[in-house]
């Protein structure tokens, strides 16, 4: 069934109204591709909320109200701050004197003092200058260290990660069997990620394997992420180097980094 312009425009107008009701949102525009799919959502918002929170609200609203899943990279947020009018020392003194005496500053008083009194406020929306705030890139996960301790019967992997100025460790233990060390390193990486992220997550290693590709090898990893009612599989890769354990960590982070860009990391007091 082809999209009819009038039908398409109708739900777009509704979607833009719903999005504009999200806390902090001032304006919204939804762009559609020729096939009727959402190609972009452009949001203008105040600066009192994290952009990633607004993006997640938009994403969730479209899913709940319209049953449409929109990749978060298609949702752009521009934050604006209204510029405050400049206050000079003379203006401040005159206003303070009037307030102390219970008087009102008149235009004649202002002219005598060499000041300008702005016109009375009207019901019409006054146009004011705005300052655009560039959204900073979300912090990416970094590997500070990885190690594996082996005994006759068990293996223990520990991974140290860093993000947003915070550090966390993850641990995974298992039987001492051939090839088990790489899987334990991947599981310890997921454990460290869960210790860094503020939100409750369910991360599970689905598969880890080495494959021949061209003239070399590549590490492939599949991770299942469960967040609330959402469940998805994420995939990462890394070319093995001298340190195979570190390559495993990088493959797992490659799978997670983009999704975790929209999440908050623990504050310093929570990490302690």
pLDDT value of position 91: 55
Render pLDDT for 107-141 as a digit per residue (tens, 0 to 9). 555 555 555 555 555 444 454 544 444 444 456 67
Supply the pLDDT for residue 13.
Answer: 84
List domains and CATH numbers for the chain: 5-81 (3.30.300.30), 89-127 (no CATH), 142-271 (3.30.160.270)
Which parts of the chain are beta strand (E)? 25-32, 38-46, 75-82, 130-133, 142-150, 154-163, 166-175, 202-213, 216-227, 230-238
**Per residue in 70-100, pLDDT tens?**
887 788 888 887 555 555 555 555 455 544 5
Name the least confident of 34-48, 144-158, 175-189: 34-48
What pLDDT is stored for residue 259 in this prediction?
73
Proportion of the chain above pLDDT 70, given as a percent: 69
Give the chain's mean pLDDT: 76
Task: Report the alpha-carbon distance of residue 50 to residue 6 in Å, rounded.
Answer: 35
pLDDT at residue 82, as a whole number: 59
Q: What is the DSSP letter of 272?
A: -
pLDDT tops 50 at residue 251: yes
pLDDT at residue 146 greater than cutoff 90: yes
Q: Pick the more confident residue, 41 or 141.
A: 41
Residue 246's pLDDT band (cuts 50, 70, 90): very high
pTM to 2 decimal places:
0.51
What pLDDT score does 132 carry? 46
């Amino acid at each position: 069934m082809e999209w009819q312009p009038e039908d398409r425009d109708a739900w777009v107008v509704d979607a833009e109204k719903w999005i504009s009701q999200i806390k902090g949102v001032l304006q919204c525009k939804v762009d559609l591709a020729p096939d009727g799919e959402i190609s972009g959502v452009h949001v203008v918002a105040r600066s009192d909320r994290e952009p990633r929170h607004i993006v997640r609200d938009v994403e969730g609203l479209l899913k709940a109200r319209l049953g449409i899943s929109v990749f978060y990279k298609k949702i752009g947020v521009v934050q604006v701050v209204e510029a405050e009018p400049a206050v000079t020392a003379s203006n401040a003194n005159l206003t303070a004197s009037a307030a102390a005496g219970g008087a009102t500053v008149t235009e004649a008083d202002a002219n005598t003092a060499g000041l300008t009194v702005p016109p009375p406020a009207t019901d019409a929306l006054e146009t004011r200058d705005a300052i655009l705030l560039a959204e900073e890139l979300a912090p990416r996960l970094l590997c500070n260290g990885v190690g594996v301790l082996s005994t006759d019967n068990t293996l223990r992997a520990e991974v140290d990660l860093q993000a947003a100025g915070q550090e966390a460790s993850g641990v995974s233990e298992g039987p001492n069997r051939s090839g088990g060390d790489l899987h334990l390193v991947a599981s310890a990486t997921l454990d460290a990620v869960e210790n860094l992220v503020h939100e409750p997550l369910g991360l599970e290693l689905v598969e880890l394997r080495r494959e021949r590709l061209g003239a070399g090898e590549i590490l492939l990893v599949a991770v299942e992420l469960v967040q609330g009612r959402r469940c998805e599989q994420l995939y990462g890769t890394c070319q093995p180097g001298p340190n195979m354990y570190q390559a495993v960590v990088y493959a797992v982070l490659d799978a997670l980094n983009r999704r975790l860009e929209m999440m908050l990391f623990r504050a310093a007091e929570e990490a302690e």
